[in-house]
C-alpha cells in the first residue's frame, strides 16, 4: 500500500498553556510518520503562536509549523484555511486535533487507520460511544447532544452516535468532493460539513474516544451552546428545503 502524506492540523485559540501538552501527547510513532503538524493560531490575545514556535525550536520538531491568523476567522474559518492548505500542498489525509487538550492525542492511530486503509472518507472520535458523563460532560450538554443527534440522524438517514465531536480525520480527496468553503465560519461548521459528506454519499465512520472536561479545556457557555444548536437546526431546515426543491441552498448545491 502506498504511503499516505498525512498532516495534523491543530486549531488553537488562547491555547498557550495547553498546546505543549497536546503536542507532547501525540504518539512518537505518529510524530515521525506524519509529514507535517501545523498549528493555526486564530488571532489569540495570548502567546499561542510564540508557544508553537518555541516548541518547535526547543524540541527540535522540524515538521511542526505555526500559522497565525491576523484576525479571528472563527472556528470554521480556520478549518477552511487548513483544509485548503492540505489540498494545495498535496496531502492525502488531515487529522484535526484541538489545541485545548479536550481530545486525547493518544487516539490518533485508531482514528487514522480506517482512512489510511481506504475504508472511510471521514472518521471522528465519538464521546457518546465511550462514557461521556464519567468523563465530566455536563448532563445538560449530554442530553442536548443526544437530542440533536436523533434529529440529525432522522433527517439525514444516518445512524451516528453523535455529530458534534471536533476530533476528526478527513481524506483530502474527499474534501475536494464537497463545497466546504460554503460552510459557516463558526462552530456549526462541523455539522454542516457532515451534512455535505452525507449528501455526497461519502463514507463516514466513528470510533470511541474518552471524554475529558478539565479546567484547561475550553468549554462554551450555555448561551453559546443554545446558539450553536439553533444554527444546526437552521442548517437542517435549509437542507430539507433544498433536497425537496422548495428553496435552493448554495451550501448544498454541489453543481453551482
What are φ and ψ of residue 158, in 5° steps? Answer: -110, 175
**In the structure grid, which three cell numbers stand for residue 98, read together?**
484541538
Beta bridge partners of 94: 7, 170
Domain edges within the chain:
6-252
Least confidently predicted of 67-76, 124-133, 242-251: 124-133
Q: What is the pLDDT of residue 255?
A: 76
DSSP state of 11: E
For 9-42, write each residue's pLDDT tens digit: 999 999 999 999 999 999 999 999 999 999 999 9
Tally helices (H) and strands (E) across the chain: 9, 7
In the prediction, which pLDDT does 123 show? 98
What does the mean pLDDT of the chain come to? Answer: 93
pLDDT at residue 139, as a whole number:
82
How does residue 1 score in pLDDT terms, banded at 50, 70 and 90? low
At residue 38, the pLDDT reads 98
Q: Which of 56-70, 101-115, 201-215 has the lowest mean pLDDT?
A: 201-215
User: Which of 103-117, 127-141, 176-190, 222-236 is least confident?
Assistant: 127-141
Q: Tell me if residue 125 falls in helix, strand or coil.
A: strand
- Compute the Cα dihedral for 227, 189, 40, 109 and give only its sign: positive
Cell of 133: 458523563
Distance (Å) of CA 86 to CA 38, 105, 194, 217: 10, 20, 19, 26
Measured CA distances, 119 to 51, 53, 176, 214 (Å): 36, 35, 17, 33
pLDDT of residue 256: 65
**Rounded to 5 degrees, what are φ and ψ at 63?**
-90, 15
Per-residue pLDDT at 223 exceeds 90: no
Rg (CA), the chain: 18
The CATH H-level superfamily of 6-252 is Spore Coat Polysaccharide Biosynthesis Protein SpsA; Chain A (3.90.550.10)
The confidence score (pLDDT) of residue 136 equals 72
Amino acid at each position: 500500500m502506498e504511503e499516505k502524506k498525512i498532516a495534523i492540523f491543530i486549531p488553537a485559540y488562547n491555547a498557550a498553556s495547553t498546546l505543549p501538552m497536546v503536542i507532547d501527547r501525540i504518539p512518537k510513532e505518529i510524530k515521525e510518520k506524519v509529514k507535517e503538524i501545523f498549528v493555526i493560531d486564530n488571532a489569540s490575545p495570548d502567546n499561542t503562536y510564540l508557544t508553537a514556535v518555541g516548541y518547535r525550536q526547543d524540541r527540535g520538531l522540524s515538521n511542526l509549523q505555526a500559522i497565525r491568523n491576523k484576525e479571528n476567522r472563527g472556528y470554521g474559518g480556520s478549518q477552511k484555511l487548513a483544509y485548503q492548505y492540505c489540498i494545495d500542498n498535496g496531502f492525502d489525509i488531515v487529522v484535526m486535533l484541538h489545541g485545548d487538550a479536550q481530545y486525547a492525542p493518544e487516539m490518533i492511530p485508531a482514528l487514522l487507520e480506517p482512512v489510511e486503509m481506504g475504508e472511510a472518507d471521514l472518521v471522528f472520535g465519538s464521546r457518546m460511544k465511550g462514557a461521556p458523563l464519567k468523563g465530566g460532560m455536563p448532563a445538560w450538554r449530554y442530553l442536548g447532544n443526544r437530542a440533536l443527534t436523533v434529529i440529525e440522524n432522522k433527517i439525514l438517514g444516518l445512524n451516528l452516535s453523535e455529530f458534534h465531536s471536533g476530533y476528526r480525520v478527513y481524506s483530502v480527496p474527499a474534501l475536494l468532493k464537497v463545497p466546504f468553503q460554503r460552510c459557516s465560519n463558526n462552530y456549526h461548521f462541523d455539522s454542516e460539513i457532515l451534512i455535505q459528506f452525507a449528501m455526497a454519499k461519502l463514507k463516514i465512520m466513528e470510533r470511541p474516544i474518552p471524554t475529558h472536561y478539565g479546567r484547561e479545556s475550553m468549554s462554551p457557555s450555555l448561551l453559546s451552546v443554545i446558539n450553536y444548536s439553533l444554527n444546526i437546526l437552521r442548517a437542517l431546515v435549509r437542507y430539507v428545503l433544498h433536497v425537496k426543491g422548495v428553496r435552493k441552498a448554495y451550501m448544498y448545491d454541489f453543481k453551482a
